[in-house]
Amino acid sequence: MMLTRNFMPEGGSALTAHRPVITGRRGMVACAHYEASLAGLKMFMQGGNAVDAAVAAAAALNVVEPFMSGLGGIGFLLISRNGGKERRVLNFSGVVPQLATPDKFTPENHSVGVRCPLVPGNPHGWLTMLDTYGNLSREAVLAPAIELSEQGVVISGSDSRYFEVNEGRLSQFPYSKAAYLPNGGSPKAGNILKQPNLAQSFRALAADGLDGFYRGAVAEEFDRFMREEDGLITAADLDAYEPDWETPISTTYKGFEVVTTGPNSNAFQVLETLNILEAFDLNSMGHNSADYIHTVSEAIKIAVPDRIAYGGDPNFMDVPVAGLLTKEYARSRRSLMNHKRASTVIGERYTENPPEDAILAGTPSVYTSGETTHFSAADGEGTVASITQTLGAGFGCGVVAGNTGILLNNNIDLMDIVEGSDSRLLVQPGKRPGSNMAPIQVFKDGRFILSIGTPGSYGIPQTTTQMVLNVLEFGMNVQEAIEAARFRVMTGTTINMEERVPLAEREKLEARGHDVNLLGQWGMEVGGGHAIGCDPASGILMGGADPRRDGYALGY
């Protein structure tokens, strides 16, 4: 499967991508900022592999899009090696600190401030990847991030909007204000933002490894700041943190194998949705026709309540992922589909009072006989690293941890704080929240053909499903699959979509009871996908990046 041919929609013209597919044979990196892709490309040119490139890109993203991810964040790695024969997941999604119990939270500090961060997992995840599979030294791999921090990054137009929207959040905290609002206001497009304190933290990580973050001077400043500000993360939490190597989960879809991260990632929603859709001839419906969007959205509505009901940390609860992913369970859930009218969906997260006619979760246990950024790197030796990492909300909790320059996540916001609640996501020390991060790799006849993923909070599984279908059902190349107009199922019968879905099809959806809400021609609400494809016959790597973000793919 070449993944390079155009798809001709029935009754329409070929989908026109606004960017070319980037090709290469030695290495490819695709992420949400060109400077981060360049950091990864530099590793290939120095003799590094896909893991070296991925870690360099991950660290650079901290500097160039600090509102999305960084040293204070969390993430997941899906890695395949030897052309797909070896597949592993590294879960560095962070844990609830030991002092965090429901009584420590209020609606005011649940998503903003020093109490809502999980123990950061990204530094440990990056270095574990590097130590296990990398070719280059920490100093070499972290050098681009250090240089960008010290020399400064040019603020883009989209960057400036993120800073402007979050100025109120950042201005509440002195260290955050000093780091990101240096002139008393948000930086504007064309300004240069330097982050010297962050550079020092990266230098400590490069010089001292894990001790450079989880112990030593950075941890001491982190601990001092938390105690002074009545935060919950302690030096003991940092010292005890470890990521986990895990086995991926997978399903088959019309002859393809789709692989992703298991719980506490909620990526099983993608696989369940594909299982439900496998029985339909989606290609014959036409891409983004009313029939197609209705069918896919109905399948999403069936999978969402299962994600809400069963997603979470398998160390603290039963997550019946094996049952959720059986074809038999998909068959039983498929019977709930309303082929004529829009069904009512429960919403995006747990609620004690779902809509009266909402689709509810099924019982998968009887069928046993997861703001964010996504990026990928692949090399000519058959290693592919697919990473999704996050701070949670834009700029995380809004807090920079003292003089470290490190912006902290707010992922406890994904958990529930009502004491006595029967929610599976109730805050508990050591627990990991259910995460919507869902890096995907696809294989054909055992060989790697596609790595794809997106940011987008609860919309991640929906956008990811659509991008995968764009390739597997409609033969789009990676750039076309990313650029194609998207939609997102919301609460009730609301469906948000980009205006590029034809008016006639939108009107047909409204006639079926869908409450169509438009997002403009290009909507940030439906994510920012990045992908790498591979032609298994030639080994040529193909990269695509989303024009909804500042990303670019670069090949070597």
49 Cβ contact list (under 8 Å, min separation 6): 27, 43, 133, 134, 135, 379, 381, 383
240 Cβ contact list (under 8 Å, min separation 6): none
Q: How far is the C-alpha of 414 from the C-alpha of 481, rounded, in Å?
A: 29
Q: How far is the C-alpha of 69 from the C-alpha of 411, rounded, in Å?
A: 12
Q: In Å, what is the CA distance from 207 to each residue of 141, 201, 236, 333, 392?
A: 12, 10, 22, 53, 28
Strands across the sheet containing 530-534? 22-24, 541-545, 530-534, 447-453, 440-444, 256-260, 249-253
- What are the backbone dihedrals phi and psi of residue 251, each rounded to the nearest 5 degrees, phi first? -145, 170
Quote the DSSP letter at residue 17.
P
Q: Tell me which amino acid residue 256 is.
A: F
- CA geometry: angle 523, 524, 530, nearest 5 deg: 110
Q: How far is the C-alpha of 234 from the C-alpha of 114, rounded, in Å?
A: 12
Q: 461 near 266, Cβ under 8 Å?
A: yes
The alpha carbon torsion through 273, 303, 368, 362 (nearest 10 deg) reads -150
61 Cβ contact list (under 8 Å, min separation 6): 31, 32, 33, 36, 68, 69, 70, 373, 375, 389
Q: How far is the C-alpha of 199 from the C-alpha of 223, rounded, in Å?
A: 19
First to last CA, the chain: 22
Q: In Å, what is the CA distance from 324 to each residue of 106, 263, 469?
A: 34, 12, 20
Cα–Cα nearest to 461, from 248, 274, 253: 274
- CA geometry: angle 186, 188, 191, nearest 5 deg: 110
Quote the DSSP letter at residue 177.
H
Q: How far is the C-alpha of 264 from the C-alpha of 313, rounded, in Å?
A: 5
Cα–Cα nearest to 165, from 456, 455, 487, 393: 393
Q: Strands 494-497 and 515-518: what pairing?
A: parallel
Tell me the β-bridge partners of 73: none
Q: How far is the C-alpha of 505 from the C-alpha of 399, rounded, in Å?
A: 44
Active site residue 372: yes
460: tokens are 């991640």
Peptide bond into 49 cis (omega under 30): no
3-state secondary structure at position 251: strand
Catalytic residue among 128, 234, 372, 388: 372
Which residues are catalytic, by number? 372
